[in-house]
Amino acid sequence: MPAPRQQQDRLRVAVVGAGPSGVYAAQGLVREEETGPAVAVDVLDRLPCPYGLVRYGVAPDHEKIKSLQGTLRTVLEHPRIRFLGNVEVGPDGMPPAALLRAYHAVVYCVGAATDRRLGIPGEDLRGSHSATDFVSWYSAHPDARDDGFALGARSAVVIGVGNVAVDVARVLARGADELRPTDMPQAALESLERSAVSTVTMVGRRGPSQAKFTTKELRELGTLPGAETRVREDELSLDPGYRDPEGLPSAVRRNVAVLRDWAAAEPSGRPGTIGLRFYLRPVEILDDGAGAVRGVRFERTAPDGAGGVTGTGAYEEIEAQLVLRSVGYHGVPLDGLPFDARSGTVPHTAGRVLRDGVPSPGEYVAGWIKRGPTGVIGTNRPCAKETVGSLLEDAEALLAARGPLADDPLDVLRAAGRRPVEWGGWLGIEAAEADLGRRLERATVKIPDWDGLLAAAGLPG
Ligand code: NAP
């Protein structure tokens, strides 16, 4: 019988980012322990709360997807996994080089933290926001700014036709009665309750066969009690490359069928509308003369037969006092780690970080910072599995190079001035959010600010 392994013999790994890719990476590392080396994992996050975009990106009315937090929680409660929140990695916190001294290996799962820009005039007018800012606000992200968003607007334009565009259009079109049972922070709920937005128009620069939303999410727009969907038959033409319906991927065929049904439907008389427009490329966000948005100017496009579009020289304006730019996320460089600015990812081979084209011992990536901001939550599982496989292949060499680590990394983090929120602190935040919900006569209500979160975690300023 092999001798029991000592605590110090363990391979110590830091996973940076407690979103789905980070948690799946941690799970993979401890799961292999039967056959591979003994591993102890610290899952670090800049925020005092775990779950990444499942907590701060999945729309509050998508309870089923949010319930995935239960699965992630089970992983973080594993005896060889520690959650350490409120630990920033980077120049203002733990630099990657210092982290690599405290652990045998570091897996960066930091996602794609910013929005892409359109690069057209008017993007910074009052009333023009990235959809990610709007999502952060209604998800209670502690860095989100309350910009009033929907206040005073009657019409909203959402630029882009991906799943985030569908989320923000749906949240805008939902009534207060539908949002109240969610964990949306109280200020956002009250603001949306007062909102007079009755028309939301989502606009794609290409055609319906190139829309990025998934059919389940699209269909849901047609089920809202307070809004009806509007689609124009003349904008549903397919790219010539797709003229043969048999050649359409099944997901596209399903989307187009839903859109065709809506185009043919009689008006239902519901008070609000969600319009879906296609073949319109944004060229300018229009100023009302006082620095606020009054609409968006689009150029009509036509399919080029190769999946893209070309401008036709015809223009159209859509009125709006609120514009949400929902054109995808982009990775942010982490000082001290290599970065490919074009793709917004860290260069890697099978998850091993490449420095000057060569794998850097002990440094790995998984999730959006590895492959770019695509796919659904489940896509992170195989992505993390590949990275974990590479790390475990390297484990023996990493242990041999460093030997057992003398210090508990938690002490190293504290000595470096960090104040980690441990699992008990997170449970304190959960309890405070349940309590806030009871006081507001709602279900759990999220705490939207740093001071509130840290106090609930037992770390008052
Ligand atoms: P996305 O799926 O990449 O969609 C971005 C949209 O923006 C596309 O319609 C794109 O059009 C358009 N766009 C890009 N640049 C543009 C420009 N310059 N002008 C006009 N339009 C432009 O991104 P996302 O919606 O942010 O979603 C990110 C990921 O999260 C996706 O994988 C998504 O499925 C996932 N997600 C899933 C859910 C869910 O499962 N419920 C919810 C939210 C997000 P082109 O195609 O023409 O570039």
Answer whether 376 contacts ligand 1 (Cβ < 6 A).
yes
pLDDT at 243 (0 to 100):
63
Answer whether 217 contacts ligand 1 (Cβ < 6 A).
yes
Q: How far is residue 232's CA from residue 389's CA, in Å, rounded to a whole number?
A: 49
Residue 160 CA to ligand 1 centre (angstroms) = 6
Q: Which two tokens stand for residue 197?
A: 């937005």
pLDDT at 424 (0 to 100):
98
Answer whether 327 contacts ligand 1 (Cβ < 6 A).
yes
Answer whether 163 contacts ligand 1 (Cβ < 6 A).
yes
- Same CATH topology for 5-113+331-420 and 116-325: the answer is no
Residue 71 CA to ligand 1 centre (angstroms) = 26
Mutate to test the pocket of ligand 1, among 163, 167, 301 (most ligand atoms within 8 A of CB): 163
pLDDT tens digits for 161-210? 999 999 999 999 998 899 999 999 999 999 999 999 999 999 999 999 99
Answer whether 161 contacts ligand 1 (Cβ < 6 A).
yes
Answer whether 212 contacts ligand 1 (Cβ < 6 A).
yes
The phi and psi torsions of 48 (rounded to 5 degrees) equal -75, -5
Smallest CA separation from ligand 1 atom 18, residue: 118
CB atoms within 10 A of CB 398: 19
Residue 371 CA to ligand 1 centre (angstroms) = 15
Answer whether 328 contacts ligand 1 (Cβ < 6 A).
yes
Answer whether 159 contacts ligand 1 (Cβ < 6 A).
yes
Fold of 5-113+331-420: Rossmann fold (3.40.50)
The phi and psi torsions of 100 (rounded to 5 degrees) equal -70, -20
The phi and psi torsions of 157 (rounded to 5 degrees) equal -115, 130
Residue 113 CA to ligand 1 centre (angstroms) = 14
Smallest CA separation from ligand 1 atom 21, residue: 160
Smallest CA separation from ligand 1 atom 7, residue: 327
Smallest CA separation from ligand 1 atom 38, residue: 163
Q: How far is residue 411's CA from residue 141's CA, in Å, rounded to a whole number?
A: 28
pLDDT at 9 (0 to 100):
59
Fold of 116-325: FAD/NAD(P)-binding domain (3.50.50)
Closest atom of ligand 1 to 120 CA is: 18
Answer whether 118 contacts ligand 1 (Cβ < 6 A).
yes
Closest atom of ligand 1 to 374 CA is: 32
pLDDT at 45 (0 to 100):
98
Domain parsing of the chain, residue ranges: 5-113+331-420, 116-325
Answer whether 165 contacts ligand 1 (Cβ < 6 A).
yes
Residue 374 CA to ligand 1 centre (angstroms) = 8
Q: CB within 8 A of 131, min separation 6: which ones?
A: 115, 158, 160, 164, 165, 167, 168, 324, 325, 326
Smallest CA separation from ligand 1 atom 4, residue: 162
Smallest CA separation from ligand 1 atom 23, residue: 328
Q: What per-residue string of b and e applies to 264-296 under the rule 16 or more CB within 10 Å gives b?
A: eeeeeeeebbbbbbbbbbbebbbbeeeebbbbb
Answer whether 167 contacts ligand 1 (Cβ < 6 A).
yes
- Residue 267 identity (one-letter amino acid): P
Closest atom of ligand 1 to 131 CA is: 26
Task: Spell out, as residue ranges, where the chain has pLDDT lower than 50.
Answer: 1-6
Mutate to test the pocket of ligand 1, among 139, 168, 212, 252 (most ligand atoms within 8 A of CB): 212
Q: What per-residue string of b and e applies to 323-352 under the rule 16 or more CB within 10 Å gives b?
A: bbbbbbbbbeebebbbbeeeebbbbbeebb
Closest atom of ligand 1 to 165 CA is: 25
Report CA dihedral (47, 49, 50, 52) to the nearest 10 degrees.
Answer: -60
Picking from 336, 354, 345, 338, the residue whose alpha carbon sits closest to that of residue 390 is 354
Closest atom of ligand 1 to 206 CA is: 47
Answer whether 373 contacts ligand 1 (Cβ < 6 A).
yes
pTM across the whole model: 0.94
pLDDT at 137 (0 to 100):
97
